[in-house]
Structure 1
Amino acid sequence: MSNITMNAWDAVSATKAECFITIENERYNFMQALNLEAKIEKVKSEIPILGRAMKGNKTVGMKGTGSAKFHYNTSIFRDILYRYQQTGRDIYFDIQVTNEDPASSVGRQTVILKNCNINGGIITKFDASGEYLEDEFEFTFESWEMPERFGSIAGMQ
């Protein structure tokens, strides 16, 4: 049994990231983001197989979904919804996230979510007892790229 373990400094800090959003050739530094998460779900079909009690599962596609929470200090996403209301033209955009913690030996990872489309969003709000306002939206995306990948930590291979 190997006694090799991960070094604590190789855990990537949750705050050491940058996020950019590109909407119609305009690139925005989404520095007011509090968190963002994007997931891929494999879409599967159940396959009945003669002679087996259990069905098989065949991947037939993928679906990308995500969510973002951020400070309530930009109208960019409300503008997307408003433009759709006024014109019927939906707006798609890209989100680029880079995670890089200089304390970790793994380097950096960059993921670009392509053709994102928000599901809806907050139009207006206030909170008389709050400290600050937060905004959020859920979205779908149609593809993704990973131009930069984390390296392996010592002991993985």
Structure 2
Amino acid sequence: MTFLQAKDTISGQSARAYSTINGKVEEMFYAKKLEGKVKKNKKEIKTLGKNGTQNKANGFTGTGTMTIYYTTSLFRQLMLEYTKLGRDTYFDIQVTNEDPSSTIGPQTTILKNVNLDEITVAAFDVDSEVLEEEVSFTFDDWDMPNAFAAPTLG
């Protein structure tokens, strides 16, 4: 009987993330958590001869959230530029998951044309030891230049 070896699970801390905004690459060392999701858009189709409703995919929607330490003004500056001047910014986020103790190697995913939905413009919390903020976004394309290899089974 084969099984997944524990060493091949990926540590949540074994990642690197970079944003490319207006041609400038920035390491996202302030990020605590990031999740990008793709959801298929589906259209319900009814046909003669079938009582059930069928579904057909007709596109996708990319959404995401990231939790970051309240240590950067970058996203506030992008939102300020939009609210004051009407200039919206679209950028890419590249995430590489690579746990050196695993045999599956790296996976790199690029979220393309990321656009911020909502950011925190000011914050404080007298009960908090560390300030964090939640940033939501959408994206309209993605790529995966590196995929995990199959794990070595035990």
What's the counterpart of residue 76 of structure 2? Answer: 78
What's the counterpart of residue 111 of structure 2? Answer: 113
Q: Aligned to 1:31, what secondary structure does the other structure show?
A: coil
Cα distance, 1:122 vs. partner?
0.3
Amino acid at match of 2:75: F
Cα distance, 1:25 vs. partner?
0.7
Q: 2:121 aligns with which of 116, 120, 123?
A: 123
Question: Separation in 2 of the partners of 1:35 and 1:90?
Answer: 24
Cα distance, 1:4 vs. partner?
0.6
Q: 1:101 aligns with which of 90, 99, 102?
A: 99
Question: Separation in 2 of the partners of 1:48 and 1:33?
Answer: 45
Question: Separation in 2 of the partners of 1:15 and 1:97?
Answer: 12
Q: Which runs of 5+ in 1 are unaligned?
A: none
CA RMSD in angstroms comes to 1.1
Cα distance, 1:53 vs. partner?
1.6
TM-score, normalised with respect to structure 2: 0.97
What's the counterpart of residue 26 of structure 1? Answer: 24
Q: Does 1:133 align with 2:146?
A: no
Q: Aligned to 1:77, what secondary structure does the other structure show?
A: helix
Question: Separation in 1 of the partners of 2:114 and 2:91?
Answer: 5
Amino acid at match of 1:108: P
Q: 1:62 aligns with which of 60, 63, 71?
A: 60
TM-score, normalised with respect to structure 1: 0.95
Question: Separation in 2 of the partners of 1:135 and 1:19?
Answer: 17
Deviations 1:41-76 (A, max 9, x none): 000000001121211100000110000001000000
What's the counterpart of residue 5 of structure 2? Answer: 7
Amino acid at match of 2:152: A
Cα distance, 1:154 vs. partner?
2.5
Question: Separation in 2 of the partners of 1:129 and 1:148?
Answer: 42
Amino acid at match of 1:50: L
Q: 1:52 aligns with which of 44, 50, 53?
A: 50
4+ long deviations beyond 6 Å: none
